[in-house]
Structure 1
Amino acid sequence: MKTEDIDGTILETWTIEEVARAWDANEIVLIDVRTPQEYMFEHIEGALLLPMPFFKPEKLPGQSDKRLVIHCGSGVRSEKMARAAIAAGIGRIAHMEGGFGAWKEAGQPYIGTNMATGAPQAVTR
């Protein structure tokens, strides 16, 4: 995990392996800030969709039970939203390095779209 101190608040950048381990152990809430279209085409099963244009960091729940980890397609939007959350007073926030593209490249499971039927399907490697 990489960390950056932003005026006394720590921005955490988690690796795919760290996110996958915490996700499997039900220790985090994963927030996807991609577009609804991106999410519908493929997403991490159980991740919550909160598209970047509608992201209101002051409305995020506290993190007393589970850490919030934000992700997007490549890590750019999620870092931007994590920084917005810190600016809004969120004391602990993390984002996933490399985003959903890195998640898929690492062979982690996700929900994709069956191109023959258009139906969602589990993708595992």
Structure 2
Amino acid sequence: MTDNTRPPLKKGVMQLVDEAMSEVVTLTVDEAAAKVNDPNVLFVDIRDSRELDREGQVPSAFNVNRGMLEFWVDPQSPYFKEPLGDDREKVLYCAGGWRSALAAKTLQDMGISNVSHIEGGFGAWKEAGKPVVDRERHGKK
């Protein structure tokens, strides 16, 4: 099938993002930054490792490649990661806020109610002059 004969998508990516944004809690950069040192909040960076190596991350953020999020958050999965299984609020972010909106919606669909994402993502975070640290590498758990 060539691109000219491909059937139209039922929903495009921007429609999915818009729907997710209407259903998840979106924090401004300032609202998110106020939570950085809160022990009851876990920042979850869903960007890939190349993005983290190149740009750094929010201090103390836990990195989960977007493709593994559902597996790492599910206690029944062989890939489960303990930091994602506790009752802390999860604040997700990506580069620009689209992937994190979709990811937050997915976590809500899985039954996690205390999840949000950062409006504008890490790009907005950096632009606002919020703290950035080099990528923290987490051991296998």
- TM-based fold match above 0.5: yes
Asked if 2 retains the 8 angstrom alpha-carbon contact of 1:58 and 1:90, the reply is: no
TM-score, length-normalised on structure 1? 0.74
The answer on 1:61 being equivalent to 2:85 is yes
C-alpha RMSD of the superposition:
2.2
The answer on 1:18 being equivalent to 2:42 is no
The answer on 1:34 being equivalent to 2:50 is no
The answer on 1:46 being equivalent to 2:60 is yes
2:122 matched to which residue of 1? Answer: 100
More helix by share: 2
Post-superposition offset of 1:5: 7.2
More strand by share: 1
Post-superposition offset of 1:95: 0.6
Q: C-alpha deviations, 1:63-112, integer Å up to 9, x for none?
A: 2xx31100000000000000111111112210111100000000111025
Task: Give ranges in structure 2 of 5+ residues lacking alignment.
Answer: 1-20, 76-83, 137-141
Equivalent residue of 2:133, what SS?
strand
Asked if 2 retains the 8 angstrom alpha-carbon contact of 1:58 and 1:89, the reply is: no
TM-score, length-normalised on structure 2? 0.66
Larger radius of gyration: 2
State the percentage of identical aligned residues: 29
Alpha carbons of structure 1 residues 5 and 29: separation in structure 2 relative to 1, 3 Å: same
Relative contact order (alpha carbons < 8 A, sep ≥ 6): 1 or 2 greater?
Answer: 2
